[in-house]
């Protein structure tokens, strides 16, 4: 049994004399996690950070089952998940490693510039009244059908869970018929190529070929554009923390790695990837 567990926890591979740290979860975080892992390998060649995505739910499930050292998540663990983890002998500890602006993306031809929460609910929520762009007073070039193509994420995604809770409300549900993408990049790619589409994804996946809407919580309020600075000061309405969970307070090589992720060097890598650091850092 002990030998089996070693396959998944921070382990020493005798042949290479390297410690392997298993890091799994959020697709929002996967790009920066891979960048962290690559750079950290240059700092400590005896540690290998094995990064994989699959969504926040996948990483959290692995943490609950004790098969991962670090779970990446773009949402907090639910109380029932923490209880289940504790029942299985795990003690998840939350670490805030950055912040993200969850952007609302529209096609570059779309004349819209801003949305408020009521408008987003009308588009994304079950029972929402906006099924055509004309319902919002818009005519979108290239969208002959006028039908709003709603692009979402799969339900194991932390991005899905955060948008649902923050925008649609605690009891809100997504409308039926959404196009549910596996990854954050997939959402942006589809919206970029589809004039009728609207979707949500992490700021870091923005390109020069797509528009991000300015967002206000209520009609009449000044909207705020998604950016690193507005995510950092949380003035952007759909700003969220980016999290890593460890089983108990990290120790040994895992603690060294987590301390490095939170250091100026680690935070500057995160900032260069389009996310907001946890504090002001001076980066080259």
Contacts of 2 (CB under 8 A, 6+ apart): none
| 204 within 8 A of 275, measured Cβ to Cβ | yes
Q: Do 139 and 23 fall within a single domain?
A: no
Nearest to 214 by CA among 110, 94, 72: 110
**Domain assignment of residue 279, yes or no:** no
Q: Do 67 and 105 fall within a single domain?
A: no
216 vs 9, 66, 113, 238, 239, CA distance in Å?
44, 40, 11, 9, 12
**Mean of the per-residue pLDDT values of the chain:** 93
| 94 within 8 A of 196, measured Cβ to Cβ | no
CA atoms within 13 A on the CB side of 131: 7
In this predicted model, what pLDDT tens digit does every residue of 156-181 receive, in sequence order? 999 999 999 999 998 999 999 999 99
Q: Do 206 and 83 fall within a single domain?
A: no
Task: Name the residue range of residue 33's domain.
Answer: 2-99+242-272
Q: What would the mean pLDDT of 34-54 be, rounded to a whole number? A: 96
pLDDT at 181 (0 to 100): 96
Q: How many whole angstroms separate alpha carbon 192 and alpha carbon 3?
A: 48
Q: What would the mean pLDDT of 58-86 be, rounded to a whole number? A: 97
| 2, pLDDT greater than 90 | no
CATH of the domain at 27: 3.40.190.10
pTM of the prediction?
0.84
- The pair of three-digit structure tokens given for residue 142, joined into one six-digit string: 């290239």
């Amino acid at each position: 049994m002990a030998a089996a567990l070693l396959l998944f926890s921070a382990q020493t591979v005798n042949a290479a004399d390297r410690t392997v740290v298993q890091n799994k979860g959020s697709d929002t975080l996967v790009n920066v996690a891979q960048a962290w892992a690559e750079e950290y390998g240059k700092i400590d060649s005896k540690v290998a950070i094995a990064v994989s995505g699959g969504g926040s739910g996948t990483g959290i499930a692995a943490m609950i089952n004790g098969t991962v050292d670090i779970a990446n998540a773009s949402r907090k663990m639910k109380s029932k998940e923490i209880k289940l983890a504790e029942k299985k002998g795990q003690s998840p500890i939350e670490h805030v490693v950055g912040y993200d602006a969850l952007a609302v993306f529209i096609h570059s031809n779309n004349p819209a510039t801003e949305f408020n929460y009521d408008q987003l609910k009308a588009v994304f929520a079950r029972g929402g009244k906006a099924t055509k762009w004309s319902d919002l007073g818009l005519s979108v070039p290239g969208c002959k059908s006028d039908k709003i193509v709603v692009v979402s994420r799969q339900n194991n995604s932390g991005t899905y869970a955060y948008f649902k809770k923050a925008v649609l409300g605690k009891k809100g549900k997504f409308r039926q018929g959404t196009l549910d993408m596996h990854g954050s990049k997939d959402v942006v790619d589809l919206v970029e190529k589809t004039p009728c589409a609207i979707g949500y994804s992490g700021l870091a996946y923005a390109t020069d070929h797509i528009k991000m809407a300015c967002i206000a919580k209520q009609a009449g309020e000044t909207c705020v554009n998604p950016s690193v600075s507005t995510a950092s000061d949380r003035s952007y309405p759909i700003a969220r923390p980016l999290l890593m969970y460890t089983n108990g307070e990290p120790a040994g090589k895992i603690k060294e790695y987590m301390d490095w992720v939170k250091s100026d060097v680690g935070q500057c890598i995160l900032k260069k990837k389009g996310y907001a650091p946890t504090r002001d850092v001076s980066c080259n």
